[in-house]
Amino acid sequence: MVYLVGAGPGDVGLLTLKACELLQAADVVIYDRLADDAILNLCSAAKKIYVGKSAGKHTLKQSEINQLLVEEARQNKIVVRLKGGDPFVFGRGGEEALFLRENNLPFEIVPGVTSAVAVPAYAGIPVTHRGIATSFAVVTGHEDPTKSESSINWQKISTAVDTLIFLMGVANLPQIVSKLIEHGRNPNTPAALIRWGTKSAQEVLITTLAEAPHAKILPPAIFVVGEVVNLREQLKWFESRPLFGKKILVTRARTQASKLSRALKNFGAEVVECPTIKIVEPSDNFRQLDAAIKNLHDFDWVIFTSANGVEKFFGRLKLHKLDARALNKVAAIGAVTAEKLSSFGIIADVVPKDFVAESLAAALKNFVGGKKILLARAEEARDVLPEALKNFGAEVTIAPAYQTLPEVPAQIDFDSVDLVTFTSSSTVKNFVAAHGVEVLKKISSAAIGPITAQTLEGFGVSPAVVAEKFTIDGLVEAIKNFYGR
């Protein structure tokens, strides 16, 4: 089966649910030049073939792309042909579908959100509006160069509709404007050029039809002509978000990055995930943790210092055919760890006000004398908490629940990054090991709390942002405050 899938205008959040499902199921993804490479992360298991086109540079001719679809489909594969915007809006999806039909191969069309409507919307420009515009037309700004003359009926299209949207028209802007004015469109008609629409790099230039050819803007951009452009001043919303235009690096483990990435994106940032750690089983293959779980009834307290520790602990607990009833008293280092415990039906008996080991130790001081404590934590961790508990008279057993290892370094253009976030000391250490401390000294950094900040300072880096509340939400709030919004 071949699926001709629209990838939408750029913002990965505008991808349809069906497109997501197909990308995850695909054996082969044949894709164009996409506005957001994050879309390809959804199809990590598929073979990816780039066939994109840019001005003056075509990876493959259209006939070669058509043949490639046939060749891959005949190998009994699920083939996704991923196209920016919608396959049938200047996407040449019809040509590809016809070629598949000629070769007796099945196909499905999966519409995408077209940039013709979405990009003006992200610029605060409705293509229709009661009392201003009741019609709109979408026109190619880049006709087939082999044609002897234009097939656009300029005489009628110039004044027949209220709003005109030209796609891929920056290079031909002088000719487009000339034709519109020649055939009756008022030179003073409001116009807008929107570059990288729906992305955090979005640029909007408001002008008039006559002045548009003098605009200094590069492709890819959409050209909008009509009175609706005047509504932008009141309706612009996308660029008003507090982190708009900021490129922020997230260094959390790949499996944990989504919450922070989503929060930053919701406030307008462009997020680049650059995981520096991965969460794996402890080096002893859970031997110490399993031994502790077998004797869990002997422990008066079980202490968790991270959500990862909670998740790994309860995974092993289930393997031993035990559940929450096997635990006595439970303590959590902070709100996020306590929240993860609650997902397993456990309400923590102790959660300190400040989410650091020193505060947790102080909160437990009057409860642990003469008690047996099980500390389920990362294999590599500070000894502040177990040492303090021992000083309070507790018998402490440390059982590694997981370990953090360096992730394969990602190739990142650090010159374009505004801020890099760190959510633990291990993310700092592994970032420096992978990319060097000099890179870090050139970029503003944000730390989730004082311990992470101390690790940065140990490398000679003073973090620009340190969260007052040591959670993901607290980190995002601190970043917003840092940018004064």
415 Cβ contact partners less than 8 Å away, ≥ 6 residues apart: none
Complete DSSP assignment for 209-245: TTTGGG---PSSEEEEESGGGGGHHHH--GGGSTTTT
pLDDT at 485: 58
The two structure tokens encoding residue 312: 């790994």
Reported as a pLDDT band with limits 50, 70 and 90, residue 474 is very high
- pLDDT(365) > 80: yes
The two structure tokens encoding residue 367: 């409860």
pLDDT at 410: 74
In the chain, pLDDT over 90 holds for what percent of residues? 79
- In this prediction the pTM is 0.78
- pLDDT(55) > 70: no
pLDDT at 253: 82
Distances (CA, A) of 57 to 60, 112, 141, 146: 9, 25, 18, 16
pLDDT at 41: 82
Q: Is 156 a catalytic residue?
A: no
**Three-point CA angle 55, 56, 58, nearest 5°:** 95
Domains and CATH numbers, the chain: 2-113 (3.40.1010.10), 117-239 (3.30.950.10), 247-276+407-482 (3.40.50.10090), 281-406 (3.40.50.10090)
402, 281 contact by CB (below 8 A): yes
Q: Is 168 a catalytic residue?
A: yes
Indicate the range of 333-342, 349-358, 403-412, 466-475 predicted with least confidence: 403-412
Specify burial of residue 124 (Cβ count, 10 A radius: 0-12, 13-18, 19+). buried
pLDDT at 354: 82
Catalytic residue among 18, 48, 53, 278: 53
Reported as a pLDDT band with limits 50, 70 and 90, residue 128 is very high
Distances (CA, A) of 397 to 19, 248, 382: 49, 39, 15
Q: What is the mean pLDDT of the chain?
A: 93
**Three-point CA angle 305, 308, 309, nearest 5°:** 50
pLDDT at 144: 62
Distance CA 198, CA 122 (A): 6
β partners of residue 332: 304
pLDDT digits (tens, 9 = 90+) for 73-84: 999 999 999 999
Distance CA 48, CA 27 (A): 9
pLDDT at 347: 95
Catalytic residue among 11, 86, 168, 429: 168
Distance CA 200, CA 332 (A): 37
pLDDT at 338: 94
Q: Is 48 a catalytic residue?
A: no
Indicate the range of 179-193, 280-294, 399-413 predicted with least confidence: 399-413
Reported as a pLDDT band with limits 50, 70 and 90, residue 355 is confident
Catalytic residue among 11, 32, 36, 86: 32
Reported as a pLDDT band with limits 50, 70 and 90, residue 145 is low
